[in-house]
Chains A and B, each alone.
Chain A
Amino acid sequence: MPEILKGSLGPEQQFKKYLSEGKFMIQKSKSLNQFFFHPRVAFPGSGERDLEWLEASGNGVVHSTTCNRRLPEKGGDFNLSLITLDEGPRMMARVEGIDPDKVEIGQKVKARISSLKGEPAIIFDVL
């Protein structure tokens, strides 16, 4: 069995590296033909390790959403949502370009790579 840890990045760092290159990549098990998120060393629950990275379509639907109240001097209110990607997995992210309390469950959204705290971050816009 090859030493997989040598000369490569763990899935978390690999994911971030892709983001820094402007690519939103998610993992898929070839045998299951099924995507998952967040990045892992094997498919959650059944352990398949035949994984490949594929670029996500970036399309998704708001599964749930909240407006997090924050003082204006600290940046003001912000949105925080769970997005179900068209590929199947769900992830946490922010929906922007709309008032943070106007995001609705079921809205179609599209990912773009922006940045938060100096690191690349996936942000969604309402379609």
Chain B
Amino acid sequence: MIKNDINKLRGKTAVVGLAESGCGIAAGWSAMEIMANSVHDALDDAGIKLSEVDGVFAATAFHSMAAMSLSEYLGIKPKFADGSQIGGSSFLSHILTAAMALDAGLINVAVIAYGSNQKSIGGFKTISEAMPYEAQYDPRMPVTAYALAAKRYMYEFGATREDLANIAVSARDWALLNPRAYTHNDGPLSVNDVLSARPIVDPLGKLDCCLVTDGGAAIVMTRADRAKDTKNTPIFMLGAAMEHHHRMVSEMPDLVRTSAIDSGRRAFEMSGYLPSDMDTVQLYDAFTINTLLFLEDLGFCKKGEARDLVKNNNIGPSGKLRVNTNGGGLSCVHPGMYGLFVTLEALRQLRNSSGDNVGTRLDGGWIDNAKLSVAHGNGGVLSSQVTNIWGTAETI
């Protein structure tokens, strides 16, 4: 019997390069071109040659076999590829798979990538099939699913639309500090702005919903030994776990409790750290309700209490808990699948505090002395949940 010791992956692999590309509007560029451009930029950031890449991980809403199409486009012959598609969290699960493949010695350098030009070709893009027993009713997926969860959350815990609006307000405040954010020049949001925005699916209005943008991203992962001689500061994977309980929202066991409860518990356990140890908290905020649910499910507060935790801009730049410091999917970027951007921000904060130049922010946009970040990905309709814990070398 082999000992079930997933914890042996802790600290064994690191991200040594990262990049984003074409975020916002990238008219004239294809999803593949945006994705490949991100890969080349991430490799440049790492100081690793394309020819060294032997593991390729990708998922998009444009390619049925994304890892294979990307490898061909790059002109490389990977020994291992994974295009698992579990929605926007796919990339955080690719990170776990890449860590396993690297640790097992199957590969030496992995790239994990995403690209989308959905905005410039007409709007939200999905390759999801129609859901049996749901499609007939014309739900506006994914918004309707999140609205059903939000409505139930409000019913069970007495939360209000104002509580949801607080999430959007804080996200925008972070975006105002981030010149890369799509809404950087749009000014702050008030709770009233969010409440009076065009209703989409009650109780969610337009400003409760994420942006629709173009954009691509890529990271380069390698083993800790190889990470010693790369160009910039390696950030180590300390914990990773995934879980999912449903595909369709009508099958979700509990609308106000996600499987992030399980992915989070196991990822933190692997890392040896607690939620309270995290210097930055990056959560997949496709809708305002996500942030409330994930703060609770990952253990930052008790169930039903996130509405108090986020009051008075406590998750904004002036608050105590540093959540979605890039502006999030709500105010920074959301090219259809946001998982890799959650990851990028978790990593960038740690690299900035390690002295790397990963871009400029206005005062307060970078977190001083950040050593630990949690990146949490969500996919489908609150379906797949994947949690990654990242740390600087000293946290291993």
Contact B132 A68 (CB under 8 A): no
Residue in B133, B137, B151, B255 whose beta carbon sits within 8 Å of that of A38 in the complex = B133
**In terms of DSSP, what is the predominant structure of the interface of chain A?**
strand
Residue in B198, B202, B248, B250 whose beta carbon sits within 8 Å of that of A66 in the complex = B202
A64-B255 CB under 8 A given contacts A105-B152, A121-B136 = yes
User: Residues of A contacting B194 with CB < 8 Å?
Assistant: none
Say yes or no for B353: interface residue by CB 8 A criterion. Answer: no
Say yes or no for B77: interface residue by CB 8 A criterion. Answer: no
Contact A105 B250 (CB under 8 A): no
- Tell me the residues in window 43-85 of chain A with beta carbons closer than 8 Å to chain B beta carbons: 63-69, 78, 80-82
CB distance from B204 to the nearest CB of A (A): 8
A91 to B249, CA, bound (A): 9
Say yes or no for A6: interface residue by CB 8 A criterion. Answer: no
Contact B250 A92 (CB under 8 A): yes
User: Residues of B contacting A105 with CB < 8 Å?
Assistant: 151-152, 155
Contact B151 A91 (CB under 8 A): no
CB distance from A26 to the nearest CB of B (A): 11
Closest to B155 in A: A105
A81 to B145, CA, bound (A): 10
User: Residues of B contacting A78 with CB < 8 Å?
Assistant: 138
User: Residues of A contacting B136 with CB < 8 Å?
Assistant: 116-117, 119, 121
- Tell me the residues in window 148-168 of chain B with beta carbons closer than 8 Å to chain A beta carbons: 148-149, 151-152, 155
A66-B151 CB under 8 A given contacts A38-B132, A92-B249 = yes
Residue in B140, B152, B199, B200 whose beta carbon sits within 8 Å of that of A64 in the complex = B152
Contact B249 A82 (CB under 8 A): yes
Closest to B140 in A: A68
Say yes or no for B47: interface residue by CB 8 A criterion. Answer: no
A94 to B155, CA, bound (A): 19
Contact B201 A64 (CB under 8 A): no
Say yes or no for A113: interface residue by CB 8 A criterion. Answer: no
User: Residues of B contacting A81 with CB < 8 Å?
Assistant: 148
A52 to B166, CA, bound (A): 49
Contact A69 B199 (CB under 8 A): yes
Residue in B134, B138, B151 whose beta carbon sits within 8 Å of that of A65 in the complex = B151
CB distance from B128 to the nearest CB of A (A): 15
A118 to B33, CA, bound (A): 42
Q: Is the interface on chain B under 10, 10 to 19, 20 to 34, or 35 or more residues?
A: 20 to 34
Say yes or no for A101: interface residue by CB 8 A criterion. Answer: yes
Say yes or no for B313: interface residue by CB 8 A criterion. Answer: no
User: Residues of A contacting B319 with CB < 8 Å?
Assistant: none
Closest to A100 in B: B202
A92-B137 CB under 8 A given contacts A68-B201, A69-B200, A69-B201 = yes
Contact B147 A66 (CB under 8 A): yes
Say yes or no for A42: interface residue by CB 8 A criterion. Answer: no
* Total residues of chain A contacting the partner, CB 8 A: 26
Q: Interface code B165-199, partner A: CB below 8 Å = 1, 0 otherwise?
A: 00000000000000000000000000000000011
Say yes or no for B142: interface residue by CB 8 A criterion. Answer: no
CB distance from A80 to the nearest CB of B (A): 6
Residue in A67, A69, A92 whose beta carbon sits within 8 Å of that of B139 in the complex = A92
A12 to B138, CA, bound (A): 18
Say yes or no for B144: interface residue by CB 8 A criterion. Answer: yes
A110 to B202, CA, bound (A): 23
User: Residues of B contacting A126 with CB < 8 Å?
Assistant: none
Closest to B131 in A: A92
A18 to B329, CA, bound (A): 44
User: Residues of A contacting B139 with CB < 8 Å?
Assistant: 68, 80, 92
Closest to A44 in B: B251
Contact A90 B137 (CB under 8 A): no
CB distance from B161 to the nearest CB of A (A): 13
Residue in B137, B155, B198, B251 whose beta carbon sits within 8 Å of that of A80 in the complex = B137
User: Residues of B contacting A119 with CB < 8 Å?
Assistant: 136
CB distance from A17 to the nearest CB of B (A): 15
CB distance from B137 to the nearest CB of A (A): 6
CB distance from A111 to the nearest CB of B (A): 13
User: Residues of B contacting A68 with CB < 8 Å?
Assistant: 138-140, 144, 201
By a beta-carbon cutoff of 8 Å, the part of chain A in contact with chain B is: 12, 37-38, 63-69, 78, 80-82, 90-94, 101, 105-106, 116-117, 119, 121
Supply 16 further A-B pairs (C-beta < 8 A) apart from A80-B138, A80-B139, A106-B155: A37-B133, A38-B133, A64-B148, A64-B149, A64-B151, A66-B148, A68-B139, A68-B140, A69-B200, A81-B148, A82-B148, A92-B139, A92-B248, A105-B152, A105-B155, A117-B136
A-B contact pairs, 10 of them (CB 8 A): A12-B132, A64-B152, A66-B201, A78-B138, A80-B137, A82-B148, A92-B133, A93-B137, A101-B202, A105-B155
The 8 lowest CB-CB distance pairs between A and B, nearest first, are A92-B250, A64-B152, A67-B202, A66-B147, A64-B148, A38-B133, A105-B155, A92-B134
